[in-house]
Amino acid sequence: MPLDEHLTRSRLDRDAAYRLLDVLQDEAAQNAALPGLDDLAPGFPDWIVTSLFGGTYQRGGLSLRDRQLLNLAALTAMGGVDPQLTGHVRTCLRLGMAREEIVEALVHLAPYVGVPKALAGLRVAAAAL
């Protein structure tokens, strides 16, 4: 059986990406995420939005809530990405997650990503909440 029969086709939908971005982030968050980047690297912000929100987010199997919890975990584990983590904390709120759920998700990460990174994530969340 050829390999392509085992692979899920990749789909990029620019229009769906920007519609979803409007659901997930308000205009202020969108402007803060990639400020001036199009001047520096023309087309790069559009590629990010189209690839993530018009590609990865369009796949089935996970709810937007689940995807946001994964984003909180990944960004907290990475560290040093406070603007992105702030945006995703706010997105969690826009999706109806309670403050307590966001905080508990970050506390839950401590034994897995380390207490310093969990604390840093909690500081970002506190400021965003």
Do 38 and 88 sit in the same domain of this protein? no
pTM of the model: 0.85
Q: Residue 11's pLDDT is what? A: 82
Cβ-contact 106, 118 below 8 angstroms: yes
Q: What is the tens place of the pLDDT at every residue in 13-48?
A: 999 999 999 899 877 776 667 778 888 899 998 999
**Closest by CA position to 53, among listed 90, 16, 94:** 16
Do 87 and 46 sit in the same domain of this protein? no
**Closest by CA position to 48, among listed 12, 95, 24, 92:** 12
- CATH number for the domain that contains residue 71: 1.20.1290.10
Domain presence at residue 42: yes
* Alpha helix segments (H runs only) across 1-129: 14-24, 27-33, 37-40, 44-53, 64-78, 82-94, 99-113, 115-128
Residue 3 has pLDDT above 90, yes or no: no
1 pLDDT band (50/70/90 cuts)?
A: low
Q: Look up residue 3 and give its two tokens.
A: 């390999």
Alpha carbon dihedral 10, 11, 12, 17, in 10-degree steps, equals -120
Do 127 and 70 sit in the same domain of this protein? yes
Domain presence at residue 107: yes
Residue 9 has pLDDT above 80, yes or no: no
Give the separation between CA 74 and CA 97, rounded to whole angstroms.
18
53 pLDDT band (50/70/90 cuts)?
A: very high
Q: What percent of the chain has pLDDT over 70?
A: 92
Do 101 and 68 sit in the same domain of this protein? yes
Give the separation between CA 70 and CA 76, rounded to whole angstroms.
10
Domain presence at residue 4: no
Residue 5 has pLDDT above 80, yes or no: no
Do 88 and 128 sit in the same domain of this protein? yes
